[in-house]
């Protein structure tokens, strides 16, 4: 029980980040008519880079990483920021939002659990499996309970495959930097892979600048950019990676199921969208599943001693 209480702050951190990212689905819509998606993503991460390096310098005294780790961080940034964000954009373009949400969000934590032994000594426990499946049912209710239900229409096959690939790529991305967080702080790792991800994004924006609606930029647009840069990138990534370091990648990623829940709620306030009884039930089920996950059991307690250690 004492161990659970000590970790409560990190569980709350995971929930906070999931809410931030979920709300951003609605907030970002307000800027997408002004900026092409590639430009907007570059703004989100590129403008976060100097802020992250400033925080790193102030907090830790220097910004250095060993030369042998630069290639690792560059690859993590390339696949986890640049490629992942591009695939997200095109998955939404070629399939429905419901399809993209379900195939992207729902399998992600499951793939983290499957791939975790390749990067850490985390192991799936019975409690984690049961809680994860309960939360999976809840997130499915939320997504399918909306106006646009899941469809297997062949017209959306490419988008469906892209959305499903996001969950695999995203899981590998989250796990790939876990070993580096045994050597460096989550802040240092986050700062460097976002730097590389932003640099690799630049070529994809070169033909997009003419499409920016400069005359349409207003206070709301600037507020959306600030929210994406400061809250969604700087604050959220630091809190998520710190919490994931303390809790473990497998358990942490099931908290992603709060993202569609918070996105649905934000739609009510931002766009007057309706929440169905099925979606409300889904939110309750998610809370129950994640509450079950966070409870310690004997196997989970022993397993947590080995969290975040590199495989020898």
Distance, in Å, from the CA atom of 274 to the CA atom of 146, rounded to the nearest integer, reads: 8
Average pLDDT rounded to a whole number, residues 262-270 = 75
For 75: left if phi > 0, alpha if psi spans -120 to 50, otherwise beta; the answer is: alpha
CB count within 10 Å of CB 179 equals 16
Confidence band (pLDDT; 50, 70, 90) for 27? Answer: confident
pLDDT for 312 equals 33
Each residue's pLDDT tens digit, 171-224? 999 999 999 999 999 999 999 999 999 999 999 999 999 999 999 999 999 999
Lowest-pLDDT range of 43-57, 94-108, 134-148, 152-166:
94-108
Summarised one tens digit per residue, pLDDT across range 129-175 is 888 898 888 888 877 776 655 555 666 778 788 888 999 999 999 99
2: Cβ–Cβ under 8 A, 6 or more apart, which residues? none
Under 8 Å between Cβ of 181 and 189:
yes
**Residue 300 confidence (pLDDT) above 70:** no
pLDDT score at 146: 65
- Contact between 76 and 196 under an 8 Å Cβ cutoff? The reply is yes
Which residues have CB under 8 Å from 291's CB, separation 6+?
131
Q: Are 259 and 119 in contact (CB under 8 A)?
A: no
pLDDT surpassing 50 at residue 110: yes
| pLDDT given for residue 307 in this prediction | 43
| Mean pLDDT within 76-81 | 96
CA diameter of the chain: 60
Residue with tokens 């985390």: 122
224/26 Cα distance (integer angstroms): 10
Per-residue confidence at 311, pLDDT binned at 50, 70, 90? very low
Tokens matching residue 309 = 């250690």
pTM of the model: 0.84
């Amino acid at each position: 029980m004492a161990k659970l209480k000590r970790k409560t702050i990190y569980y709350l951190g995971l929930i906070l980040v999931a809410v931030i990212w979920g709300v951003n689905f609605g907030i970002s819509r307000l800027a997408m008519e002004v900026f092409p998606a590639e430009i907007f993503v570059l703004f989100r991460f590129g403008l976060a880079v100097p802020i992250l390096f400033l925080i790193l310098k102030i907090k830790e005294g220097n910004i250095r990483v060993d030369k042998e780790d630069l290639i690792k961080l560059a690859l993590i940034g390339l696949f986890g920021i640049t490629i992942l964000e591009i695939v997200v954009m095109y998955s939404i373009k070629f399939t429905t939002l419901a399809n993209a949400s379900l195939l992207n969000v729902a399998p992600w934590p499951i793939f983290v659990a499957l791939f975790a032994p390749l990067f850490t000594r985390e192991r799936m426990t019975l409690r984690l499996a049961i809680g994860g499946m309960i939360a999976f049912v809840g997130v499915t209710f939320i997504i399918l309970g909306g106006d646009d239900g899941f469809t297997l229409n062949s017209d959306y096959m490419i988008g469906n495959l892209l959305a499903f690939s996001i969950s695999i790529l995203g899981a590998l991305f989250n796990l790939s930097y876990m070993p580096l967080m045994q050597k460096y702080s989550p802040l240092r790792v986050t700062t460097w892979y976002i730097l590389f991800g932003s640099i690799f994004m630049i070529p994809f924006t070169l033909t997009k600048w003419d499409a920016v609606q400069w005359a349409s930029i207003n206070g709301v647009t600037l507020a959306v950019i600030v929210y994406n840069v400061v809250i969604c990138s700087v604050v959220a990534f630091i809190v998520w990676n710190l919490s994931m370091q303390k809790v473990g990648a497998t358990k942490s990623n099931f908290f992603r199921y709060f993202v569609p829940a918070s996105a649905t709620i934000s739609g009510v306030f931002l766009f007057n969208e309706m929440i169905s009884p099925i979606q409300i039930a889904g939110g309750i089920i998610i809370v129950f599943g994640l509450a079950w996950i966070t409870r310690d059991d004997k196997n989970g307690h022993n397993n947590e001693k080995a969290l975040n250690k590199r495989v020898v």
